[in-house]
Amino acid sequence: MKREMWNMKRVLPSFALIASLALFAPAVHAQQASDIDAVKKRAELNSAKADLEEARKKRDMAVAARWKDRETANQEREMFNEKYQESKEKVDALMSERARLFEDVRVAREDLAQVKLQAEKARAEYLSLAAGPERLETLAKFQEQGVPFKVAERVEIQNKVKKEMSLYRDDPLRIAKGVLDAARAEMAFTRESNVEKADLMFGSAVAQGDRMRLGGLYAMQMASTVDINGLHPAALMLPVAGEKKRVYSWQENLTPETKKNIAKVYANVNDSAFVMVPVDVLLSTELSSELANHTETTWKDDFKQFFKNGGILMYPIATLFGLGLLIFLIKFVWIMVASFGGLSARRALKALEKGDVETARVQSAKSHGKVGKVLRTVLGKDYPGRAPAEKALEELFSAEVPKIESGLTWVSVFASTAPLLGLLGTVMGMIELFDVITMHGTSDPKLLAGGISIALVTTEAGLMVAIPLQLLHTFLVNRCDALRSRMEKAGLAVLNALWIKEK
């Protein structure tokens, strides 16, 4: 189409040129030549018109074909766009569906994970209901703490329960039933009480007698025969201290009183529903030892043992107590004597209150004690004024007050030193205790008793000395303050009676 347009542009100038030549040809040409040329030119013009018309037709056909092609392309493009839009909508729908499915899958996975977590938690809680071997520790303690009877049977029951715990871990109910059965069997054992005839061992001799047991709490035995002291040989199953734990054994070295009580138990067991049994229900090794080897002691023996357990520091502590008590007694007697002014001092003070100075002077000469000395100091001389009398009283007080307060500091020092000596004993006892532990370990409590006794007894003794001495010191201080107050009151009463009257 563009080429035909270009050809037409070339032909049109040619027509214009030919027309111009025809119009402006010289007049000299002949008419004939002019006609011939005009015919040629017309023919050429017609040919050009034909060519132009042909070119126009071709152009129109090309334009029509082009428009048709463009229309076809537009139709195809519209169809493509429609199909593309439909495909896009389908793809978008599929993508939305895919996203929804992914979200559903994610939610489903989260729900599944939550369900699994809850299931695991529920399973763990369910399995936690299954009792472990530690639940049998309490029952095992009865075997270790109680008297050793039926140990094999009780251990077998607990071992059976432990085996079920390992085999049936997923069945807590079965394990719980086994534990309850074991506890029920142990409780049944603790309630067992029987008295039976048996061959009893006393040292290396065998004797016929009775044996009594109450669960795992206590056991006793008594022979039917009587020894040379008129008592039935008897024994108690008591715990003794071992290297790792308590060990139970028959203790035959009982006091006569304990043997009599055992004989009384066996005499009343068939006739009475209530009997008193001499036994340590706490199963303590120390109490059991006292029960088997108890001896009567006086307070003097206890004091000697207490003094001996405290060690060498008990002597200075006792010395401090004795000296403090002695000083207290001496000072107390001195204060009582110094505080006693007699009837004359009271009469002199009453006479001063009434204004009778002469009577007061006569009575003050007969008075005693520190109050009487104050009265005599003022009334025994004729002072020109109040100032000299006050000066004389000041000299008297400066000389007498130190005498009144003398000795009090020693009681306070003794009261303060006694706890320090007790603390020193504590340190010495701990050092000794650590030395024993270093050499022998902690397996034997008897080796540790010495250091512990010094550490505790000296502290107790120091406090026992310090507390009463401190109370006695406070008592003496109060008595001295009261005496000084009475002296000051008497001196002020004399001064006011004499010189206020003169004014």
- If you write DSSP's letter for every residue of 103-126 in order, what string do you get? HHHHHHHHHHHHHHHHHHHHHHHH
Could you tell me which of 319, 298, 329, 325 has the C-alpha nearest to residue 462? 319
* pLDDT at residue 193, as a whole number: 76
Sign of CA dihedral 165, 170, 171, 172: positive
Instruction: Report the pLDDT value the prediction gives residue 471, as an integer from 0 to 100.
Output: 92
Q: How many CB atoms lie within 10 A of CB 34?
A: 14
What are the helix and strand counts (H, E) for the chain?
Answer: 15, 5
Asked if residue 130 lies in contact with residue 175, where contact means CB atoms within 8 angstroms, the answer is: yes
Q: CA Rg, the chain, in Å?
A: 66
Which are the contacts of 393, defined by CB distance < 8 A and separation ≥ 6? 374, 377, 378, 491, 495
Backbone φ and ψ of 29, nearest 5°:
-70, 160
Encoded tokens for 294: 């108890």
pLDDT digits (tens, 9 = 90+) for 42-89: 888 888 888 888 888 888 888 888 888 888 888 888 898 888 888 889
What pLDDT shows up at residue 161? 80
Closest CA relative to residue 328, chosen from 213, 468, 152: 468
Closest by CA position to 312, among listed 199, 481, 429: 429
d(CA 337, CA 129): 84
Q: Return all residues near 240 (Cβ < 8 A) that are at least 6 apart.
A: 246, 247, 248, 249, 251, 285, 288, 289
Query: For residues 21 and 110, what is the distance between their CA atoms, to the nearest angstrom?
Result: 99
Cα distance between residue 190 and residue 177, in whole Å: 20
Contacts by 249-256, CB closer than 8 A, 24 or more apart = 250/201, 250/221, 251/288, 251/291, 251/292, 252/202, 252/203, 253/292, 253/293, 254/291, 254/292, 255/292, 255/293, 255/294, 255/295, 256/229, 256/231
**Model-level pTM greater than 0.75?**
no
Residues 280-318 have pLDDT tens digits of 666 666 556 655 555 555 677 777 877 787 778 888 988
pLDDT of residue 467: 92
Q: Is 313 exposed, middle or buried (0-12, 13-18, 19+ CB in 10 A)?
A: buried
Nearest alpha carbon to residue 209 among 148, 265, 275, 150: 265
Q: What is the number of residues in the chain?
A: 503
Per DSSP, helices labelled H in 380-444 are 386-405, 408-440
On whether the CB atoms of residues 239 and 219 are closer than 8 A, the answer is no
Q: What are phi and psi of 304, to 5 degrees?
A: -65, -40
Tens place of pLDDT per residue across the chain (503 aa): 555 555 555 555 555 555 555 555 455 555 667 778 778 888 888 888 888 888 888 888 888 888 888 888 888 888 988 888 888 899 988 999 999 899 999 999 999 989 888 888 877 776 666 666 776 777 776 666 677 777 778 778 888 888 887 787 777 777 788 888 888 887 877 777 777 787 777 766 777 888 877 777 777 788 877 776 667 788 777 776 655 566 777 777 777 777 777 777 777 776 666 667 666 666 666 556 655 555 555 677 777 877 787 778 888 988 999 999 999 998 888 888 777 765 666 677 777 766 666 777 767 666 777 777 777 777 767 777 777 777 877 777 777 778 888 888 888 899 989 889 888 888 887 887 777 677 766 655 655 665 666 678 888 888 999 999 999 999 988 888 888 887 877 777 777 777 764 43
